Structure 1
Amino acid sequence: MFDIGFWELILIAIIGLVVLGPERLPVAIRTVKSWINSVKRFSDGVKTELNEELRIQELHQNLKKAEQANMENLAPDVAKSVESLQEAAQMVNQPYAKKPASDSSDNSESSDDKPAK
């Protein structure tokens, strides 16, 4: 990224020490470090979002190809994309599926479940 060698870093540290003084230099270094970390996190987030958008676009194109081929004799990458989309659809629908009846085989209420008279 930057072509800064060891001697350049030493020179920057000495200038920083002279300008800021020994009391404020550690605080300034921590502040610059936090800025750099926040920029890195932001760039990683943007990179992740872009990769996900590209993946979604690719899946969308493969789904169009599969629809045009009437979901028969699909290429392996297109079939994989369709399979991935089907799994995602099942995961989305799963929370809304009806839950099965209770696991207990008897329907009688225990004495704790009965309301007090």
Structure 2
Amino acid sequence: MFDVGFSELLLVGVIALLVLGPERLPRAARSAGHWVGRARATVQRFTAEVDRELKAEELRQTLREETRQLVEPVASAKKEVTELGAELKAPVADAPAKRDDGH
């Protein structure tokens, strides 16, 4: 993230020692470490949440595609069955009704 070398850290440490003094420097370092840790944890949680959302959206997209691939053949089969049913009903409707009373 940041490119900070040893010489930069040493310079910041010397300046902090001169500005804060040896009594307050350890407490300031602990406080700074605490805040840096909290910032890192917040960034990590945010990154994890974004990653989960991206994976969820990818899963939704895959589900939509798979559903679309299943719906098209089912609709085609339904159409064929409906047409076949209409073809089968036509001869039955046109056939004369038989009577069972002996005539």
Q: In percent, how many aligned pairs have the same letter?
A: 39
In 2: Cα distance, 1:63 partner to 1:10 partner: 54
Q: Which runs of 4+ in 1 moved over 4 A?
A: none
1:6 equivalent in alignment to 2:6: yes
In 2: Cα distance, 1:17 partner to 1:31 partner: 15
Larger relative helix fraction: 2
Query: Taking structure 2 as the reference length, what is the TM-score of the superposition?
Result: 0.63
Query: Once superposed, what is the RMSD of the aligned Cα atoms?
Result: 2.0
In 2: Cα distance, 1:47 partner to 1:30 partner: 25
How far off is 1:2 after superposition? 2.8
Q: Deviations over 1:41-94 (max 9, x none)?
A: 0111011001100111011111111111117xxxxxxxxxxxxxxxxxxxxxxx
Q: Secondary structure at the match of 2:70?
A: coil
Superposed counterparts of 1:20-35, under 5 Å = 20-35=20-35
* Structure 1 spans left out of the alignment, 5+ residues: 72-117
* Structure 2 spans left out of the alignment, 5+ residues: 72-103
**Aligned twin of 2:60:** 60
In 2: Cα distance, 1:5 partner to 1:66 partner: 51
Query: Taking structure 1 as the reference length, what is the TM-score of the superposition?
Result: 0.56
Moved more, 42-51 or 10-19: 10-19
Q: Counterpart of 1:37 in structure 2: which amino acid? A: G
Greater RCO, CA 8 A, separation 6+ = 1
